[in-house]
Amino acid sequence: MLPEAETSSPLTRRPYGRRHARASFWLSCGVDAMECARRAGRSIAVLHKV
C-alpha cells in the first residue's frame, strides 16, 4: 500500500491505479521486472504492456 502522501497522485484516481503505481514504484526502485510481475500477479508481458 502507498503512504497517505502518495494516494493523492493522479494514478490513484482510476480503478487499479494504486496497483499500477505500486508496480511502477518497484520498477523505479530497481526491483527486477520479473519480480515485479510476480508480486503483482501478472505476466512479464502484461507488466511491460500496462
Q: What is the per-residue pLDDT across 1-50, written as a single tens digit (0 to 9) for each?
A: 667 776 676 666 666 667 788 888 999 999 999 999 999 888 999 888 87
* Domain housing 35: 4-49
Q: Report whether 27 contacts 33 (CB < 8 A).
A: yes
Q: Report whether 21 contacts 6 (CB < 8 A).
A: yes
* Side-chain half-sphere CA neighbours of 40 within 13 A: 27
Task: Check residue 50 and give its pLDDT.
Answer: 73
Neighbours of 30 (CB within 10 A): 6
Q: Answer yes or no: pTM beyond 0.95.
A: no
Task: Check residue 29 and give its pLDDT.
Answer: 93
Domain count, the chain: 1
Task: Check residue 43 and give its pLDDT.
Answer: 92
